[in-house]
């Protein structure tokens, strides 16, 4: 278990790259000069920051401005697509400021990394690293940007002191991300993301990825002697966000709870904290609500494994619509399936499309090859540019052991390296006896082109 400390108040560094490269870092501008075929860049960071967020990127990059303080960087072939996809970045940043207070980092730029980048995004200050898998062509996956923007306060200003308290970074950020999305796109969006986070990511992780007694399902797990990468999961994200949602609902005043978030950030900005720091501050700010806070099963939420002791209140109307459509696919007659209008699915939000597919996958009913092929064709799923949709229907194929889609899935997990997609698909292929050798061979052939983190994670599953 490693501690996470803050660096000096003023960070200064230099990098030297070939003249055709563009150097980049978390600084809003560079001093540079050319000599002997190289460009040398000097950059400074006046804002205190955790050492783990120090990052440098260099490559053949181009920049497109989004606003006076926001821009996107990418390779020439990708930069215009990225500029269009991330059009709402400034709107998201302003909305985050309304929720969390003044943005303290100067610029907020994005850089689109190569496909092998293992994460959806990385919140390096002033220059968020993002995967190209969120460029869907319809701005349907930009909640990742809202998440990384929220990290500018929760994670980058106030940081978990060690990885046992990772939820202070990620649970808070998911909670704030969904607040941002709700303010921009409607409260229904926030409600739907909350219930999907609980059902599809948290409960699935507790019951399927681990088990309800596993140490890693605790919000504050013991990581002595454990590589934090091995414990990485959706638990700190979704269980942490759910705790904050339960608190907001039980305290009964969203505006006051949002003010508490701003006060918490102001109090601990520039410092590393543990869960007790946050909890003591919560009790101090809501001293008049001590009876409400005392009613929370804190051990059940923080230090016990498995499903949390309380379920937040969810609006499930949109979820019912998704379940109904999925039920036609799992239980309907051939005639009922034929009558389904493709436009109904087409008009759903990205999250709702994924939910329909996830409901099919978790129904406990394997498709026949004929029914799965109808699903693919009716919704033209194989031509989707949305990686979340691709991932979800791939899980249906794996559960149904639909062999014709295996080449497609192997291509998907080797042309991009996002762990969210690559790890589960490879894991299920390795457990499919008839496909295991093929999947292992494909993985080993692709290792030289993979990010070291991804290659290490996948190799441990063989």
Question: Is 237 in the active site?
Answer: yes
Question: Which helix (DSSP H) or strand (DSSP E) does residue 43 occupy?
Answer: strand 38-45
Token pair of 169 as six digits: 């970074």
CA-nearest of 168, 201, 318, 194 to 246 is: 194
Kindly calculate the radius of gyration of the chain based on its CA atoms and give it in whole angstroms: 23
Q: Which residues contact 107 (CB under 8 A, 6 or more apart)?
A: 28, 69, 70, 71, 126, 127
Euclidean distance between CA atoms 324 and 356, whole angstroms:
9
| 15: three-class secondary structure by DSSP | strand
Q: How many CB atoms lie within 10 A of CB 376?
A: 18
Rounded to the nearest angstrom, the gap between the alpha carbon of residue 70 and the centroid of all alpha carbons in its chain is 21
Please provide residue 63's backbone torsions phi and psi, each rounded to the nearest 5 degrees. Answer: -120, 140
Euclidean distance between CA atoms 303 and 222, whole angstroms:
9
22: β partners: 59
Euclidean distance between CA atoms 178 and 143, whole angstroms:
8
Question: Is 60 in the active site?
Answer: no
Question: Which helix (DSSP H) or strand (DSSP E) does residue 168 occupy?
Answer: helix 167-185
CA-nearest of 364, 365, 324 to 344 is: 324
Judge whether 105 and 157 are in contact, CB under 8 Å.
no
Q: What is the dihedral of CA 289, 292, 295, 301, to 10 degrees?
A: -90
Euclidean distance between CA atoms 393 and 193, whole angstroms:
19
Q: How far is CA 153 from CA 24, 109, 110, 241, 307, in A?
A: 22, 15, 17, 15, 28
Beta-carbon-side half-sphere exposure of residue 173 (alpha carbons within 13 Å): 29
Choosing from 85, 123, 148, 170, the catalytic residue is 148
Choosing from 237, 264, 379, 421, the catalytic residue is 237
Question: Which helix (DSSP H) or strand (DSSP E) does residue 159 occupy?
Answer: strand 158-160
End-to-end Cα separation, the chain, in angstroms: 26
Q: Catalytic amino acids?
A: 148, 237
């Amino acid at each position: 278990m490693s501690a996470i400390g803050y660096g000096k108040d003023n960070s200064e560094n230099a990098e030297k790259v070939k003249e055709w490269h563009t150097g980049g870092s978390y600084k809003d501008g560079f001093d540079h000069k050319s000599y002997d075929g190289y460009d040398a860049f000097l950059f400074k960071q006046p804002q205190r920051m955790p050492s783990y967020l120090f990052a440098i990127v260099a490559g053949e990059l181009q920049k497109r401005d989004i606003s006076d303080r926001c821009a996107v960087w990418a390779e020439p072939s990708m930069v215009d697509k990225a500029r269009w996809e991330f059009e709402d970045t400034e709107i998201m940043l302003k909305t985050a400021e309304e929720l969390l207070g003044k943005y303290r980092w100067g610029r907020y730029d994005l850089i689109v990394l190569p496909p092998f980048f293992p994460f959806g995004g990385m919140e390096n200050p002033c220059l968020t690293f993002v995967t190209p898998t969120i460029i869907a062509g319809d701005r349907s996956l930009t909640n990742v940007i809202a998440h990384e923007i929220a990290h500018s306060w929760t994670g980058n200003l106030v940081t978990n002191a060690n990885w046992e308290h990772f939820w202070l970074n990620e649970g808070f950020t998911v909670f704030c991300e969904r607040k941002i999305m709700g303010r921009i796109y409607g409260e229904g969006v926030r409600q739907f993301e909350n219930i999907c986070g609980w059902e599809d990511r948290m409960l699935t992780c507790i019951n399927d990825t681990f088990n309800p007694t596993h140490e890693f399902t605790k919000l504050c797990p013991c990581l002595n002697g454990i590589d934090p990468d091995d414990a990485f999961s959706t638990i700190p994200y979704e269980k942490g966000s759910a705790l904050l949602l339960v608190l907001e609902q039980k305290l009964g005043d969203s505006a006051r709870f949002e003010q508490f978030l701003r006060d918490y950030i102001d109090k601990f900005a520039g410092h590393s904290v543990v869960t007790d720091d946050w909890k003591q501050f919560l009790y101090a700010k809501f001293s008049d609500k001590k009876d409400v806070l005392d009613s929370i099963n804190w051990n059940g939420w923080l230090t016990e494994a498995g499903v949390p002791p309380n379920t937040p209140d969810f609006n499930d109307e949109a979820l019912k619509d998704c379940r109904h459509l999925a039920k036609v696919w799992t239980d309907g007659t051939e005639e009922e399936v034929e009558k389904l209008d493709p436009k109904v699915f087409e008009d759903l939000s990205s999250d709702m499309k994924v939910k329909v597919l996830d409901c099919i996958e978790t129904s406990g009913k394997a498709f026949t090859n004929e029914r799965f092929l109808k699903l693919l064709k009716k919704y033209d799923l194989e031509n989707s540019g949305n990686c979340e949709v691709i991932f979800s229907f791939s899980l249906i194929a794996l559960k149904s052991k639909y062999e014709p889609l295996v080449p497609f899935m192997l291509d998907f997990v080797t042309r991009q390296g996002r762990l969210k997609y690559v790890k589960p698909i490879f894991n299920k292929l390795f457990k499919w006896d008839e496909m295991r050798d093929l999947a292992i061979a494909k993985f080993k052939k692709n290792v030289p082109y993979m990010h070291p983190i991804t290659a290490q994670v996948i190799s441990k599953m063989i």
